[in-house]
Structure 1
Amino acid sequence: MEVHFDAELWIWDARRTDTWTFVSLPGDISDEIRELGGPRRGFGSMRVQVRVGGTAWRTSIFPDSERGYVLPVKRAVRQAENLEPGDVARMTVTVLDL
């Protein structure tokens, strides 16, 4: 499953000093992923491949009771794509755990 969406980068409130930066997957996409079933990893996570601009990497998405699924955006990606919290980025996410 591959999805495309625009999302705003935000900092996880619980770890502000560490600047853990995430985007939230839209609710309808989160619902579709939940319905896929498939294997889940620790904390209910699923492996994904992500592309933002010219940068691609593998990571996991995590279920969040308030936001559906959330996706961490690591510092190296933010620097390569000149992204800061509050910016909106075009995301391509491919779910690998099916």
Structure 2
Amino acid sequence: MELSFAGQVIEWRGPSPYYFVAVPDQESADIREVAALATYGWGAIPVQARIGGTAFSTSLFPKEGVYLLPLKSAVRTPAGLATGDEVAVELTVRL
């Protein structure tokens, strides 16, 4: 399953800051339809993602009806991304 969407970089403060892009409602609903085929536990969904020129592997996490795409420093730094920035995301759910 391949998806493209735009979203805002958000920060979650825990013991250390984490950064995510929330997958929009419609795309999250599409992912939920195949979640049972893709998840490896705890609702995490393995994906390949691309933001700008950076491609990376990670897992989406379910949160309050949508999925969150984590953004590690290795993804944020080359693109100069900060909290509040709008990004275009290309996403492939690994089934």
For normalisation by structure 2, the TM-score amounts to: 0.92
Q: Which residue of 2 aligns with 1:8?
A: 8
- Counterparts of residues 58-69 of structure 1 (less than 5 Å): 58-65=57-64, 67-69=65-67
| Count of residues in correspondence between the two structures | 94
Measure, in 1, the Cα distance between the counterparts of 2:90 and 2:16: 25
Match of 1:82 in 2: 80
TM-score of the two chains, using structure 1 as the length reference:
0.89
Shift of 1:19: 1.5
Q: 3-state SS of the aligned residue for 1:78? A: helix
The Cα RMSD (Å) is 1.2
Distance 1:52 1:69 in 2: 17
Higher-strand-fraction structure: 2
- Segments of 5+ residues of structure 2 without an aligned counterpart are none
Task: Write the distance in 2 (CA, Å) between the matches of 1:63 and 1:41.
Answer: 13
CA offsets 1:33-70 (integer angstroms, 9 cap, x no match): 101130422321010000000000000001112x5111
CA distance in 1, matches of 2:59, 2:38: 12
Q: Residue in 2 aligned with 1:29?
A: 27
Q: Which runs of 5+ in 1 are unaligned?
A: none
Report the equivalent of 2:39: 40
Work out the CA distance in 2 between the residues paired with 1:47 and 1:39.
7
**Moved >4 Å (runs of 4+):** none
